Amino acid sequence: MLMPAFELHKPVSIEEAVALARDLIDSGQEFDWVSGGTDLIPNYKWHINTKPHVISLAGIEEMKSLSMTEIGAGVKLSQLEVSDEIHPLLKTAAGKVASSLIRKSATLGGNICLDTRCFWYNQSEDWRRSIEWCHKADCGTGADCRVIPNQNTLCVATYQGDMAASLISLGAMITLVGPDGIREMPIEDFFELDGMKKNVLQKGEFVCKVTFSEEVSKRVGAYKKLRVRETWDFPEAGSAASWIPGDLSSLRIGTTGIESIPRSHCKEIEQHANWNDEDSIFELSQAVQKSVKAVNNTILSPRYRKAMVSVLTRRAIEEII
Amino acid sequence: MSGGYKQQPGSGGNTVRKDGKRVAGKLKFQPPGAGGSNPKMKERDLDFIPESVGGKEPQPAGSHVHDRLRTGTVVGKEVALVDANPKVIGKAEYGDDVRLGGEIIGKILRSPHHYAKIKSIDTSKVEALPGVIAVATGADAPKTFGVLPVTKDEHAMAIEKVRHMGDLVACVAAVDEETALHALNLFEVEYEILDAEFDPRKGIEDVDEPIHWRGKYHVGNTNIQKRVFQEFGDRSLVESPAASSSRKWRFEGVHHGFTEPHAVVAEWDATGRLQLYTPQQVPHYTHRALSTVLDVPMHQINVIRTFVGGGFGGKSDPFPHEMCAAILARKAGRPVRITFDREEVYWINRGRHPSYIEVKIDADEQGRVAGFDIDALIDGGAFASFGHVTSYYNGVLATSPYELGSFHYTGARVWTNKPASGAMRGHGAVNTRCAVEVGMDEIAEQLAVDPIDLRLANLLPPHCRTITGFRITSNGMREALTKVREGSDWDNKFRKLPLGKGIGIGCGFFISGSGLPIHWDPNRFPHATVHIQIDMDGGVTVHTGAADIGQGSTTAVAQVVSEVLALPLDMIHVRSHESDTSPVDLGSYSSRVTFMNCNAAIRAAMEIREQLLNAAWEMTGYHPTTLVLNDRRIYYKHDPAIGVSYLEALHKAQEDVGALIARGAYRSPPMGGVHKGAAAGLAPAYSFSAYVAEVDVDVETGIVKCTNVWAAHDCGKALNPLSVRGQIIGSCHMGLGQVLSEKMVYGRTGHLQNANLLQYQIPSVHEMPHVTPIIVESSDPEGPFGAKEAGEGPLLPILPAVVNAVYDAIGVRPNTLPLTPDQMWSDIQKKMKELKIKDPRKLESPRLEHGNLQPVLEQRAEEHRIRDGKRQRTEDTSAYVNGALFGFDPNIPMEDQVEGWRSATEPEPEKLAELGIAGKAWLKQEQRKMGGDN
Ligand SMILES: Cc1cc2nc3c(=O)[nH]c(=O)nc-3n(C[C@H](O)[C@H](O)[C@H](O)COP(=O)(O)OP(=O)(O)OC[C@H]3O[C@@H](n4cnc5c(N)ncnc54)[C@H](O)[C@@H]3O)c2cc1C
Ligand code: SF4
Could you report the per-residue pLDDT of A51-83, keeping only the tens digit for each? Answer: 999 999 999 999 999 999 999 999 999 999 999
Residue A210 lies in a domain: no
- Give 3-state DSSP helix, strand, coil % of chain A, rounded to 5: 30, 20, 45
Residue of A nearest to B701 (CA): A308
- Out of A134-143, B14-23, B219-228, which region has the weakest mean confidence (pLDDT)? B14-23
pLDDT for B7 equals: 53
pLDDT for A26 equals: 97
Taking residues B329-351, report their average pLDDT. Answer: 98
Residues of A in contact with B113 (CB under 8 A): 130
Distance in angstroms (rounded) separating the CA atoms of residues B786 and B714: 11
Residue B493 clears pLDDT 80, i.e. is over it = yes
Cβ neighbors of B528 (< 8 A, separation 6 or more) are B544, B545, B546, B583, B585, B586, B592, B593, B596, B597, B599, B600, B665, B666
Q: Tens digits of per-residue pLDDT, A144-166?
A: 999 998 887 889 999 999 999 99
Contact B111, B158 (CB under 8 A): yes
pLDDT for B278 equals: 98
Does B825 sit within 8 Å of A2, measured CB to CB?
Answer: no
Does B820 sit within 8 Å of A300, measured CB to CB?
Answer: yes
CATH fold for domain B477-510+688-835: Aldehyde Oxidoreductase; domain 4 (3.30.365)
Proximal ligand: closest to the CA of A147: 2
Does B701 sit within 8 Å of A299, measured CB to CB?
Answer: no
Query: For testing the chain A interface, which of B110, B701, B765, B824 should be mutated: the one with the most A CBs within 10 Å?
Result: B701
Taking residues B714-740, report their average pLDDT. Answer: 98
Confidence of residue B780 (pLDDT cuts 50, 70, 90): very high
Longest dimension (CA), chain B: 96
Distance in angstroms (rounded) separating the CA atoms of residues B823 and B834: 17
Taking residues B85-94, report their average pLDDT. Answer: 95
Decide: helix, strand or coil at residue B663. Answer: strand
B window 751-810, beta carbon within 8 A of A:
751, 753-755, 758-759, 761, 763-767
Strand partners, B307: B94
Chain A contact for B195, CB < 8 A?
no
Q: Tens digits of per-residue pLDDT, A166-215?
A: 999 999 999 999 999 999 999 999 999 999 999 999 999 999 999 999 99
Confidence of residue B9 (pLDDT cuts 50, 70, 90): very low
Residue A164 lies in a domain: no
Residue A75 lies in a domain: no
Residue B14 clears pLDDT 80, i.e. is over it = no
Q: Report angle CA A302, A308, A313 to the nearest 5 degrees.
A: 135
Query: For testing the chain A interface, which of B822, B823, B826, B842 should be mutated: the one with the most A CBs within 10 Å?
Result: B822
Residue B681 clears pLDDT 80, i.e. is over it = yes
* Pair type for strands B224-234 and B168-174: unpaired
Residue A124 lies in a domain: no
pLDDT for B13 equals: 44
Residue A44 CB–ligand 2 contact under 6 Å: no
pLDDT for B30 equals: 39
Q: Which helix (DSSP H) or strand (DSSP E) does residue B904 occupy?
A: strand B901-904
Cβ neighbors of B270 (< 8 A, separation 6 or more) are none
Taking residues B656-668, report their average pLDDT. Answer: 96
Confidence of residue B522 (pLDDT cuts 50, 70, 90): confident
Residue A159 CB–ligand 2 contact under 6 Å: no
Q: Tens digits of per-residue pLDDT, B374-428?
A: 999 999 999 999 999 999 999 999 999 999 999 999 999 999 999 999 999 999 9
Confidence of residue B29 (pLDDT cuts 50, 70, 90): very low
Confidence of residue B17 (pLDDT cuts 50, 70, 90): low
Distance in angstroms (rounded) separating the CA atoms of residues B922 and A294: 44
pLDDT for B12 equals: 42
CATH for the stretch B84-91+517-666: 3.30.365.10
User: Which residue puts its alpha carbon closest to atom 32 of ligand 1?
Assistant: A110
Residue A145 CB–ligand 2 contact under 6 Å: yes
Strand partners, B338: B264
For chain B, the structural domain boundaries read 84-91+517-666, 477-510+688-835
Residue A35 lies in a domain: no
The CA–CA distances, whole Å, from B426 to B85, B590, B658 equal 28, 8, 45
Proximal ligand: closest to the CA of A77: 1
- Angle at which helices B477-488 and B853-872 cross, to 10°: 130
Q: Which atom of ligand 2 is nearest to the CA of A158?
A: 1
Distance in angstroms (rounded) separating the CA atoms of residues B100 and B337: 9
pLDDT for B18 equals: 66
**Residue A255 sits in a domain of what CATH number?**
3.30.390.50
Residue B519 clears pLDDT 80, i.e. is over it = no
Residue A30 CB–ligand 1 contact under 6 Å: no
User: What percentage of chain B carries pLDDT values higher than 90?
Assistant: 91
Q: Which of A114, A97, A95 is nearest to A207 (CA)?
A: A114
Distance in angstroms (rounded) separating the CA atoms of residues B37 and B31: 8
Does B766 sit within 8 Å of A230, measured CB to CB?
Answer: yes
Residues of B in contact with A123 (CB under 8 A): 755
Taking residues A33-44, report their average pLDDT. Answer: 98
Contact A222, A240 (CB under 8 A): yes
Residue B912 clears pLDDT 90, i.e. is over it = no
Amino acid at B801: A
pLDDT for B521 equals: 77
Distance from CA of B759 to the nearest CA of A (A): 7
Q: Tens digits of per-residue pLDDT, B754-770?
A: 999 999 999 999 999 99
Chain A contact for B821, CB < 8 A?
yes
Cβ neighbors of B227 (< 8 A, separation 6 or more) are B219, B391, B410, B411, B412, B413, B918, B921, B922
Cβ neighbors of B258 (< 8 A, separation 6 or more) are B309, B310, B311, B312, B314, B315
Segments in B271-357 forming alpha helices (H)? 283-294, 320-332, 342-348
pLDDT for A176 equals: 98
Tally the domains of chain A.
1
pLDDT for A220 equals: 98
Q: Which of A111, A129, A128, A127 is nearest to A198 (CA)?
A: A111
Q: Tens digits of per-residue pLDDT, B846-856?
A: 999 999 999 99
Residue A133 CB–ligand 2 contact under 6 Å: no
Cβ neighbors of A74 (< 8 A, separation 6 or more) are A35, A57, A58, A60, A63, A64, A107, A108, A109
Chain A contact for B149, CB < 8 A?
no
Chain A contact for B749, CB < 8 A?
yes
Residue of A nearest to B108 (CA): A126
C-alpha A97 to ligand 1 mean position (Å) = 10
Residues of A in contact with B765 (CB under 8 A): 231
The CA–CA distances, whole Å, from A1 to A42, A44, B105, B236 equal 10, 10, 13, 61
pLDDT for B524 equals: 80
- Out of A187-191, A229-233, B745-749, B907-911, which region has the weakest mean confidence (pLDDT)? B907-911
Distance in angstroms (rounded) separating the CA atoms of residues B153 and B145: 6
Residue numbers of the domain that contains A299: 219-320
Q: Which of B173, B182, B326, B349 is nearest to B261 (CA)?
A: B349
Residue A62 lies in a domain: no
Q: Tens digits of per-residue pLDDT, B844-891?
A: 999 999 999 999 999 999 999 999 999 999 999 999 999 999 999 999
Q: Tens digits of per-residue pLDDT, B255-303?
A: 999 999 999 999 999 999 999 999 999 999 999 999 999 999 999 999 9
Q: If you ran DSSP here, which 8-state letter would residue B260 be given?
A: S
Q: Which of B366, B386, B368, B369 is nearest to B378 (CA)?
A: B386
Residue B313 clears pLDDT 80, i.e. is over it = yes
Residue A76 CB–ligand 2 contact under 6 Å: no
Residue B212 clears pLDDT 70, i.e. is over it = yes
Q: Report angle CA B482, B486, B491 to the nearest 5 degrees.
A: 105
Residue A43 CB–ligand 2 contact under 6 Å: no
Distance from CA of A295 to the nearest CA of B (A): 14
Does A228 sit within 8 Å of B741, measured CB to CB?
Answer: yes
Residue A128 CB–ligand 2 contact under 6 Å: no
Taking residues B557-574, report their average pLDDT. Answer: 97
The pair phi, psi for residue B191, each rounded to 5°, is -115, 150
Q: Which atom of ligand 2 is nearest to the CA of A297?
A: 6
Q: Which helix (DSSP H) or strand (DSSP E) does residue A257 occupy?
A: none
Residues of B in contact with A231 (CB under 8 A): 764-766
Residue B37 clears pLDDT 80, i.e. is over it = no
C-alpha A41 to ligand 1 mean position (Å) = 9
C-alpha A103 to ligand 1 mean position (Å) = 10
Distance from CA of A145 to the nearest CA of B (A): 14
Distance from CA of B808 to the nearest CA of A (A): 22
Decide: helix, strand or coil at residue B239. Answer: coil
Distance in angstroms (rounded) separating the CA atoms of residues A103 and A81: 9
Distance in angstroms (rounded) separating the CA atoms of residues B894 and B41: 58
Residue B3 clears pLDDT 60, i.e. is over it = no
Distance in angstroms (rounded) separating the CA atoms of residues B328 and B364: 63
Residue A232 lies in a domain: yes
pLDDT for B670 equals: 87
Distance from CA of A176 to the nearest CA of B (A): 32
Residues of B in contact with A311 (CB under 8 A): 700-701
- The per-residue pLDDT of chain B, averaged, comes to 94
pLDDT for B641 equals: 86
Residue B520 clears pLDDT 80, i.e. is over it = no
C-alpha B741 to ligand 2 mean position (Å) = 25
pLDDT for B21 equals: 63
Residue A229 lies in a domain: yes
Confidence of residue B505 (pLDDT cuts 50, 70, 90): very high
Does B751 sit within 8 Å of A304, measured CB to CB?
Answer: no
Chain A contact for B891, CB < 8 A?
no
